[in-house]
Amino acid sequence: MLSLVVLISGGGSNLRSLLEAAEDAQYPARVVAIGADRDADGFAHAEAFGIPTFTVPFTSYPNREAWGDALLAQIQGWQPDLVVLSGFMRLLPARVVRALAPNLINTHPAFLPEFPGAHGVRDALAAGVPQTGASVIVVDDGVDSGPIVAQRRVPVRPGDSEHTLHDRIKLVERQLLVQAVLDIANGTVNLEELATT
Ligand code: GAR
């Protein structure tokens, strides 16, 4: 059974899809703790599923490194097999990435390497592309630049707003994330190998 720590910053709908998947006894992963860099709305899902939480507020630390060290200590306290960044909107310091890699994955609302960064949906709309996508990647020390675990295309529809497009992407993202964690747990995807290719 793969143990997961999931980090969020917002509503946590991707997190919820993992919590729902893990209700099935056959699903080979369990969320052991949920962390955030702020008082995230998604903690409501933690409460609903009885999962412990921790908050490491960015603004409570003198710099990114000190914040990262505190976050890492919290994560490591749970001894997870895999850490999932699921709408976690802060860049991790390099030493945190190094400590957790390659067992550190991130979901992103674009077909990477297209539209990396904090505004993947907005940037795809602004570019006027007919399709964008969703990706799950291994985190490396760049911005959304790590090896692809899974990704799928999502069409952009005429009249889409950032909100409608993001909602359509998230439907796909949730499926990708649940499948990616399943594939990692059963060995179909090997993160060590992905990270070295
Ligand atoms: C997701 O679309 C995720 O890919 C995105 O934030 C959303 C979180 O939704 N993350 C990024 O853009 C990271 N660069 P959720 O809180 O409802 O799961």
Q: Is the pLDDT of residue 180 over 90?
A: yes
Class of domain 1-100: alpha beta
Mean pLDDT of the 16-34 span: 98
Assess whether the region 1-100 and the region 109-197 belong to the same CATH fold. yes
pLDDT, tens only, 84-115: 999 999 999 999 999 999 999 999 999 999 99
Of 3.40.50.170, 1.10.4160.10, 3.10.100.10, 1.10.3720.10, the CATH number of 109-197 is 3.40.50.170
Instruction: State what percent of residues in the chain have pLDDT above 70.
Output: 100
Instruction: State what percent of residues in the chain have pLDDT above 90.
Output: 98
Q: Is the CB of 14 under 6 A from ligand 1?
A: yes
What's the mean per-residue pLDDT of the chain? 97
Q: Is the pLDDT of residue 3 over 90?
A: yes
Mean pLDDT of the 52-70 span: 97
Q: Is the CB of 87 under 6 A from ligand 1?
A: yes
Mean pLDDT of the 72-84 span: 98
pLDDT, tens only, 142-170: 999 999 999 999 999 999 999 999 999 99
- Please give the distance, rounded to the nearest whole angstrom, from the Cα atom of residue 10 to the centre of ligand 1: 8
Of all protein residues, the one whose alpha carbon is nearest to atom 1 of ligand 1 is 87
Q: Domain spans of the chain?
A: 1-100, 109-197
- Please give the distance, rounded to the nearest whole angstrom, from the Cα atom of residue 74 to the centre of ligand 1: 22
Active-site choice (108, 119, 163, 166): 108
* DSSP states of the chain: -EEEEEEESS--HHHHHHHHHTTSTTS-EEEEEEEESS--TTHHHHHHHT--EEE--GGGSSSHHHHHHHHHHHHHHT--SEEEESS--SPPPHHHHHHHTTSEEEEESS-TTSS-STTHHHHHHHHT-SEEEEEEEE--SSSS-SPEEEEEEEEPPTT--HHHHHHHHHHHHHHHHHHHHHHHHTTSS-HHHHHH-
- Please give the distance, rounded to the nearest whole angstrom, from the Cα atom of residue 109 to the centre of ligand 1: 7
Q: Is the CB of 109 under 6 A from ligand 1?
A: yes
Predicted pLDDT of residue 197: 75
Active site residue 163: no
